[in-house]
Structure 1
């Protein structure tokens, strides 16, 4: 195995030719896309809360609870379209407020000479983006990062003699005509100046607009203001500090100036403060796939070209995508969880409003948060939910007349009311959302054992989900089983009939079972809601069983006459497999076979990124290594990775989208370590091309941390080092192993005492 260790960064030999290829930095609030052009640098500045008002902020959920019995009767009678019309209150589909870019910092050099020996790079460990080159005058270097410590974008340019103009601009592709920009510049010191930009939204729809302020400091050489530009002549180095804000009222530029003036214009000092927070988070987990130093040293363009259209996954690219994915997730997580584009956008008109799409995408992006030792990402989801939980309660009351909570299928981050629906898209019927969105928080408790977090806020929210199902589940079938109606499996309906409203969607059954079970577990642990626990336990016995269709596949609806479609981007009916661990090969082998059959039969529809990654996560849980690799290959072998290692939603680099980038680390971890309370399974779905490697820092859902897991298929050897912060006993097993560990061995891990497990692996058949 290569002992040089993985490389934690990427580099390129040319500036970005498109904004999607720009290298990125972020602190979970502010983000920057850096093009890296020596002659005309462009830094696109973004902010998590920049959404364009469109009138949807005050929209309410449909008040249709009074029609519920009518709608249920229609659905049970097979009149899906009529039920959808009755439950939509006649509204048209309205979209969330779209995420949009902020502004551009333009640095234009006067009479630049041709650059030689150019290199731009991103350092994942520090969060820095930089470029270096030479010309006839000498060597030049630029670098930038967004500080977690000081909430400021820091940029530095150094060279023989800086002769350039700096300006803040709102000119980005697709800017609506009714969004106004005004920029200004002023110099109050021979070596300092201030640049400002104000963006204003159309009036009467919500927020007023946003503002950005940049403090420019030239280390030597004079600066002067010329219109809305600052001109620098003869300096050897300049530093730019940038902050921005958005508000219902005009943002207070004075406060932004005060923030900047309070900071030292010293790049290294600010970087040290930032890396003290960023670097330890990034370094918690590492993957080493035994890649050679020469392969790791490739520029990103060569790395992607080497993968090409190969459906097999190149270990060198996968290792890079693993580390890049964690870096991108860390950088786009903070005040909010990652949007569809993470935290970055270089043009107006984001697909799907660039929002938080909650029926699949958001959870997939956070799939590696708990097990990948990123509680900060889980905290961002908690913060999002906490700010919207009252809206979820309003949704439940208005739509179903119930207690508890009902989550929307999407949110722009400003509210959580369920308004994105119409007669064709009956999102009011999706009842699994709250359980689905709370699962990463429950997983966080399993990983950390944080009972304070469990008691507040998690347990009260889990109780509210159980209360919703307690009130919602009022119909029974002829066998006495509870019936989930109306029921909706995102974003698909039964084949061979009109309409998508249905009965007993498998995802909804799984959500109801998990919600009631989780509420029983946590309430029993905390000694609360004793009377409700008994009711929920009785309801669990009445829930419908999952159905297996004539093809031997897990059905999408457990109701007669509702046929599962063969080709769709979503696989929501595999919720019991991933993330719930309800259907497992060892615990429910017959259902696991049916789930695997369903996974294999489901076509890819349009090869959307979230579909492939969702399939890969399910394949890992079902221990199908080949299917894990095949689904990763759909991303890496279909031209879906930009030179920034951000991914696209569709093949052919179509639509900048973080789903795959953020989810790939989770897929890799799930293929190497599967865990649930009481169980740690090693190498459950290891593809043959990952012939040797090492992963460290993986968190298990039972308080165990995998300090190290190493394997070598050629030598048929592996070992693992387990530790915990509490005494814990787990069953450790590896189905690829020879000996007792194949079936599972009980292992006691004492707090603070690492335990090493060595085992032989079966030789490959080939």
Structure 2
């Protein structure tokens, strides 16, 4: 548990308001999210909803019917005419994007003068007034509460996981509260209307957003109930003294507006008061957050530093991890991942956005980013995140079946490379981006759910059927054989790159992508495992072997003559290393060495967060802590964290993006504990500069919890617990030991230069 760490390790504070929405402090319940900018005189709280996506005509998009083209596509690809094959598959289509995630609106809290008028430095001059004495803003990761305080005033807020409310407590003297849709980049054809009104004894603020008539949803609504000494002031509410504000949002839908239902729900849920509402929320949030923690032996004075100073100290020595920041990023990442997961898993921006220009539509990019964000969910004891992910997958499996039938005339599941969360139909493709040829998606996306089963031991349920369908898809699609009977995977696509043509440009459609081979091998083996049969064994035995190129590197395509683009952010061909673990130093040492060679040769392109942390995860699986550390340093040392400790996609805080923030805890856990059923390896790839510490609460594949792992320069100590009797091998840098675990009885192990464990 986290009791061994002081409260300061489980939160952040700042001595200045957010300079922009990207630095806003964050809270969320997996459905609603708030971004608190923290200006005492002119507070702005941006309100988000996981389902707020701007209609663009793709709500009813369906996969194209392409199965009749596949014989010719295959013929062209095998003849080396890959660009022609890609054009035939793409059909000259325009690249259509998912519906873009967008912010909802902002709550405004402005200082009021006599009679309720807004003071200078309020709405019109936000941020202009000098900060009052004692200013401080903070986020408590253990409760999800964001606090802005100063001499004579305070505001507190959180988003309740228990009651489905945004909750704010205002103790800031007189103020005027309103709602606005005036956020950066708002399209001209998105309209807002606001109102303040009294209904009986209750005072409400309402905002409605109206979408353009493109199709799909017509708009959305937010409604706030204010209690205390409050009165309607035009389209805002004047507040004197302490007040409570509770808010609900209605997801986009069809008419009529549901204002009356929202009013009634707010009346029922709000009388408890702020403290009781916070306690109800914390009873759900805190136990999940508290299951795991990381203590890097940070001096107490450094744990008390404001977030800006933590970031500044890392920037002063960018090549070495600053333990105080790394420790805080571990906790912040778990907090943000949990807070962004509920009705859906985290988007590219988690659950938060302050402007209408989300990169890549702020969607769920499923060919890399989503799984990378989830890297620490199962092994970091956050089943709530896995459950949110299961909701997304379960809602779209029928769409994956339609994709497989329409595009390949096949049974089984074909997943898209991206989704806005509203459906899973594959339509994002054109001549140069052959996402219809991205075959491994179902296996890749089902893996976190299968890993959840391995970690928890929970029954597979309907997942067993989906895993079998993933195998059936490959059985129907793998129709081409070489002269020796080996299956040829065609068309094939290693997202988001391809072999270079004669002019050195990538042509994406190809043959025998390594990720496809790995996914087929895993899908067929897993289907046999969950059904207790060998139905798929013969086909699995005909899959092509992985190819090692003339440089000694694992090739991205198991096909002769291809040259890879080595300056690319994706490393899809290392799927058999992470997360599958098929290639590993124990069982396949030669292939593991080839995979490491491939990792070293790969360039960084634009130093994207997901690219660097994907590399770090692979390096950890290969037990190369130095290489994992080099890739983590690319994140820590390139100014990629905002003052909320949300991250950016590129160096210099370019493009608000949750990949690094959410994935980093998974990288740290993988560097300290690796597991598979029957084996737990301690310190497989410790990162340079993190020479001692304590990890608590990591959960292992095989139903083992590492209640505590402590390490320093001379020893490793661990306490393991299993809910069932089992025998396993525990490894450390000092050797291996066989351990008998009895259900519910922790076992203590000590490793060092003179002992193999006890």
Confirm whether residue 730 of structure 1 aligns to residue 747 of structure 2: no
1:253 aligns with 2:259: yes
- SS state of the match for residue 67, structure 1? helix
* Equivalent in 182, 191, 198 of residue 180 of structure 1: 191
* Contact persistence 2:501–2:507 (CA under 8 A): no
Aligned to 1:193: 203
In structure 1, which of residues 215, 218, 226 is the aligned counterpart of residue 233 of structure 2? 226
Aligned match of 2:140: 123
Matching residue within 165, 175, 180 for 1:169: 180
Partner of 1:99: 101
Asked if structure 2 preserves the Cα contact closer than 8 Å seen for 1:723 and 1:754, the reply is yes
Distance 2:477 2:55 in 1: 34
Residues 264 and 206 of structure 1: CA distance in aligned 2, closer, same or farther (over 3 Å): closer
Distance 1:566 1:226 in 2: 62
1:748 aligns with 2:740: yes
Maintained 8 Å contact 2:179/2:206: yes
CA displacement 1:673-711 (0-9 Å, x = unmatched): 000111100000012311110001101000110010001
Alpha-carbon distance in structure 1 between the residues aligned to 2:133 and 2:462: 56
1:398 is displaced (CA, Å) by 0.7
In the alignment, what sits opposite 2:752? 760
Per-residue deviation, 1:131: 1.1
Aligned with 1:405 (options 409, 413, 416):
413
Alignment correspondent of 2:300 = 293
How far did 1:386 drift?
Answer: 1.1
SS of equivalent residue, structure 1 residue 549: coil
Deviation, 1:540, is 0.9
Aligned to 1:388: 396
Distance 1:4 1:33, change over 3 A: closer
**Pair 699,108 (structure 1): closer, same or farther in 2 beyond 3 Å:** same
Using a 3 Å threshold, how does the CA distance of structure 1 residues 51 and 3 change in structure 2: closer, same or farther?
A: closer
Deviation sequence 1:438-458 (CA, Å, 0-9, x none): 00000001001112xx1x221
Q: Is 1:723–1:753's contact at 8 Å kept on the other side of the alignment?
A: yes
CA separation in 2, counterparts of 1:198 and 1:762?
69
Shift of 1:148: 0.5
Q: 1:495 aligns with which of 468, 486, 500?
A: 500
SS in 2 for 1:388: helix
The offset of 1:322, in angstroms, is 0.2
What is the CA-CA distance between 1:189 and the residue it aligns to? 6.3
Aligned to 1:706: 706
CA–CA distance in structure 2, aligned partners of residues 248 and 126 of structure 1: 31
- 1:108-147 to structure 2, matched below 5 A, reads 108-110=110-112, 111=119, 114=130, 115-134=132-151, 139-147=152-160
Q: Does 1:557 align with 2:557?
A: yes
What SS does the corresponding residue of 2:269 show, helix, strand or coil? coil
CA distance in 2: counterparts of 1:16 and 1:142, whole angstroms = 15
Relative to structure 1, the CA distance from residue 761 to residue 645 in structure 2 (aligned partners, 3 Å threshold; closer, same or farther) is farther
Distance in 2 (alpha carbons) for counterparts of 1:36 and 1:204: 36
Deviations 1:4-52 (A, max 9, x none): 5471000000110100000000000000000111000111000000000
From 158, 162, 170, the counterpart of 1:149: 162
Q: 1:725·1:752 contact (CA, 8 Å) conserved in 2?
A: yes
- When the two structures are aligned, how many residues end up with a matched partner? 731
Post-superposition offset of 1:745: 1.9
- State the partner residue of 1:527: none
**Cα displacement (A) at 1:654:** 0.4
CA distance in 2, matches of 1:761, 1:362: 41
Measured after TM superposition, the shift of residue 81 of structure 1 is 1.1
Distance between the aligned counterparts of 1:4 and 1:445, measured in 2? 30
Residue of 465, 483, 486 corresponding to 1:478? 483
Residues 297 and 584 of structure 1: is their aligned pair in 2 closer, same or farther, counting only changes over 3 Å? same
Aligned partners of 1:648 and 1:540: how far apart in 2? 40
CA separation in 2, counterparts of 1:679 and 1:326?
25
User: How far apart are the structure 2 equivalents of 1:377 and 1:761?
Assistant: 39
CA distance in 2, matches of 1:412, 1:761: 53
Quick check: 2:66–2:407 contact (8 Å CA) kept in 1? yes
CA distance in 2, matches of 1:555, 1:239: 60
Residue matched to 2:323: 315
Q: 1:264 to 1:56 in 2, by over 3 A?
A: closer
**Is contact 1:555-1:563 (8 Å) kept?**
no
Report SS of the residue matched to 1:436.
Answer: helix
- Name the residue aligned to 1:203: 213
Runs of 4+ in 1 over 2 A off after TM superposition: 2-6, 110-114, 187-190, 495-498
Matched, 1:279 2:286: yes
The answer to whether the Cα contact below 8 Å between 2:21 and 2:35 also exists between their aligned partners in 1 is yes
Q: 1:31 aligns with which of 30, 33, 36?
A: 33
Matching of residue 264 in structure 1 with residue 270 in structure 2: yes
Q: Partner of 1:344: helix, strand, or coil?
A: coil
Which residue number in structure 2 is paired with residue 158 of structure 1? 171
How far has the Cα of 1:565 moved from its partner? Answer: 2.0
Q: Structure 1 residues 496 and 290 mapped into 2: Cα distance closer, same or farther (>3 Å)? A: same
Distance 2:754 2:408 in 1: 54
In 1, Cα distance between equivalents of 2:701 and 2:83: 42
Equivalent position of 1:666 in the other structure:
666
TM normalised by structure 2 equals 0.95
Q: Is this contact kept in 1: 2:629–2:688, CA < 8 A?
A: no
Task: Determine helix, strand or coil for the equivalent of 1:308.
Answer: helix
* Corresponding residue SS for 1:480: coil
SS in 1 for 2:38: coil
**Structure 1 residues without counterparts, runs of 5 or longer:** 525-529
Q: Secondary structure at the match of 2:146?
A: strand
Contact 2:486 2:543 in 1 (8 A): yes
> What does the per-residue CA deviation read over 1:365-398, in whole Å, with 9 as the maximum and x for residues that have no partner?
0011110111111111111111111110010011
SS in 1 for 2:100: coil
Contact 1:33 1:43 in 2 (8 A): yes
User: Among 37, 60, 65, which residue is 1:63 paired with?
Assistant: 65
Q: How many angstroms apart in 2 are the aligned matches of 1:560 and 1:247? A: 51
Structure 2: 5+ residue stretches without partners:
113-118, 122-128
- Contact 2:25-2:644 at 8 Å conserved across structures: yes
Match of 1:17 in 2: 19
The 8 Å contact of residues 62 and 89 in structure 1, kept in 2 or not, is answered as: no
Tell me the distance in 1 between the aligned counterparts of 2:452 and 2:516. Answer: 22
- CA offsets per residue over residues 483-535 of structure 1, 9 Å max, x none? 100000000011244521111000000000000011011111xxxxx5xx32x
Counterpart of 1:465 in structure 2 is 470
